[in-house]
Structure 1
Amino acid sequence: MDKHATAGKTGIEQGLQLCTICGNYSRQIDNPETCPVCFNDIAQRKNNSLQKTWALLITSMVFIIPANLYPITYLLKNNILYPDTIFSGIISLINSDMLGIALIVFVASIAVPIFKIAALAVIALSVQLHWNLSPKKQLWAFGFVEWIGKWSILDLFVISIMVAVFDKGHLLSVYPGVAATSFTVVVITTLFAANSFDTRLIWDAQTHE
């Protein structure tokens, strides 16, 4: 294949398909549905990738509101129930001279989810509206979202640490609140949103302006 003739062309324009399982390239005209190496089902692009990404992103946008506004835990101490939102929990940790843990909770529970949603939304809008954004920077941002998504569950470990720190003399019981479920939905939907997005659409958008 002439490298000069294919320079600047997308895989679709060259009739190529990439198997996401074994990484093998094959020409669409040879076998459009099955990888000739591992026999996995393949397509030039993930089916309905952008629609699935938006559906999951909108779900995460909806659930991130109760995740931050409603109590994530209820602390029962001396027969008195103390509700704690993520933000009030951070303030309590700061007041208890636990600035390090407070910073971890803030990053894992507030900064990271908002960043992931915002970054994925910008990338999806860029593809849908053909914005003139750098594909390399979008891919870098997407890679960072995928990497940081692996640490999203960190907040649950932080809650465990908080329980261990404050549970003295068996005077404290901890119960999950509405925000705990909402936060879990945000974590799961953002992970699936990143997984469902086909990064090759970024290059397609640049070549079809």
Structure 2
Amino acid sequence: MDKNHPKSISLTLAFSLTALIFYLPANFFPFMSIELYGNRNTSTIWGGIVVLVESGSWPIALIVFLASIVIPFFKLAILFYLALTATNGKHLQLKLKLYNITEAIGRWSMLDIFLLAVLVAILKLGPWTTVEPQMGSLLFALVVIFTMVASASFDPNLLKENPNGKVS
């Protein structure tokens, strides 16, 4: 590893591993509970996706599925790949494209948390409605935070060749 980037790879791996540790329970613990007219419903992310599909809201279900399950998993996989192979000098163009993809999707990382906030705000308008975030939403927020920090800690200069043909 280059002396100019001694911590980039280890920090990226540490933050990515932390996000992965939170990713699994974030998808198994309840994300939120809604009480409407005395009926309480608690749901995981996957349970919410299933309910959306069953109610005919499959476009929203697809967005939630992509933003909550697929994109975080692929972003973590890309970060692990980049950190573990950054200095081997192979496939630099592919690695730069993957890095740019993680940066581009980063701004969508908090989509679920924003949707939950909007849902809470809308449903709080009704006097007989209560919406409460559950453990899954906290864990998912931690996944997002640690993934964003992992991405920010990765130095893309590791993926550029210097004039001598070696990775900088």
Superposition TM-score tier, normalisation by shorter sequence: 0.7 to 0.9
Larger proportion of helix = 2
Larger radius of gyration: 1
Matches within 5 A, 1:151-190: 151-163=108-120, 170-190=127-147
Check conservation: 2:9, 2:84, Cα contact below 8 A.
no
Q: Secondary structure at the match of 1:207?
A: coil
Matches within 5 A, 1:31-180: 45-127=4-86, 130=88, 133-163=90-120, 170-180=127-137
**C-alpha RMSD over aligned residues:** 2.4
Give the aligned partner of residue 198 of structure 1: 155
Q: CA deviation at 1:86?
A: 0.3
Q: CA deviation at 1:154?
A: 1.3
Separation in 1 of the partners of 2:118 and 2:145? Answer: 22
Q: CA deviation at 1:98?
A: 1.1
Q: CA deviation at 1:93?
A: 0.9
- Per-residue displacement from partner, 1:137-192 (whole Å, max 9, x unpaired)? 10111111011011111112323454577778543311011111111111111111
Separation in 1 of the partners of 2:77 and 2:132? Answer: 30
Q: Which moved more, 1:168-177 or 1:179-188?
A: 168-177
Any unmatched runs of 5+ in structure 2? none
For 1:77, give the aligned amino acid: L
Q: Secondary structure at the match of 1:106?
A: helix
- Per-residue displacement from partner, 1:45-68 (whole Å, max 9, x unpaired)? 344111111110010010001110
- Count matched residues: 163
Q: Secondary structure at the match of 1:97?
A: coil
For 2:65, give the aligned amino acid: F
Separation in 1 of the partners of 2:13 and 2:126? Answer: 48
TM-score (norm 1): 0.69
Q: Secondary structure at the match of 2:137?
A: helix
Q: CA deviation at 1:97?
A: 1.3
Quote the sequence identity (%): 34
Q: Secondary structure at the match of 1:74?
A: strand
Check conservation: 1:45, 1:200, Cα contact below 8 A.
no
Separation in 1 of the partners of 2:98 and 2:133? Answer: 33
Q: CA deviation at 1:203?
A: 4.0
